[in-house]
Amino acid sequence: MSISPVKRLVLETMWLLDKPAKAAEISKDTRLSFPTIMMHIIGLARMEYVEQREKGFYVITEKGKKMLGFPEITKEKASEILSYLPLEKSFHFYVDIGKPLNIHAASLQDFCDKILKIDMDSMEFHINRGDFEAWFMDLGDIELARKMLLLKEQKIFGENLRQKLYEIVKNRYEELTKIRKNESVS
């Protein structure tokens, strides 16, 4: 079953927000009217792609994520994505081609810590080139790579970019950590 491009946009926006969100926030991020967003949220809820967690706050469901084409993450896959990498597979920060900062991130957690301190020119350089997206794909995290693509398309710059990037990576790190811990208990 497929969904309309507008429903897909609403679903992707909710997925990118990665937290319970009000329709007004989704409306702002998609640049679509509030009534349009509500109509599509209601339709997506009927299809069980989104759910209302508390009054007025909506989240994407696992079924919704599958609709967007994301594979389910197992304990093993989460452990693989979160693992510490050798220097040659680490993310190396640059401010421009041929201008390395001599700073690297050897894991998703390390990356999350470094983006709070890294030079803004470096972050904009890498997001615009798709470097973050490519590195996350190399880690095996299709979902995080796709979030970087959508973040790049939003054309956010400066501290807004840093904050949004940090939130996305931190939330994903926490989600993968929970998957690794919860599944190892069962």
Q: What is the DSSP letter of 21?
A: B
Round to whole Å and give the CA distance between 51 and 29. 19
Q: pTM of this prediction? A: 0.75
* 5-67, CATH topology level: Arc Repressor Mutant, subunit A (1.10.10)
- In this predicted model, what pLDDT tens digit does every residue of 105-143 receive, in sequence order? 999 999 999 999 999 999 999 999 999 999 999 999 999
Q: Is 31 helix (H, G, I), strand (E, B) or coil?
A: coil
- In this predicted model, what pLDDT tens digit does every residue of 146-175 receive, in sequence order? 999 888 888 889 999 999 999 999 999 999
- In this predicted model, what pLDDT tens digit does every residue of 9-68 receive, in sequence order? 999 889 888 889 999 999 998 889 999 999 999 999 999 999 998 899 999 998 998 898
Count of residues in the chain: 186
In the chain, where are the structural domains located?
Answer: 5-67, 75-185
Round to whole Å and give the CA distance between 154 and 152. 5
Task: Please report the pLDDT score of residue 112 as a whole number.
Answer: 94
- The phi-psi region of residue 130 (left if phi > 0; otherwise alpha if psi is between -120 and 50; otherwise beta) is left
| Residue 83 dihedral angles phi and psi, to the nearest 5° | -65, 155
* CB-count exposure of residue 10 (10 Å: 0-12, 13-18, 19+): buried
Q: Cβ contacts of residue 61 below 8 Å, gap of 6+? A: 48, 49, 50, 51
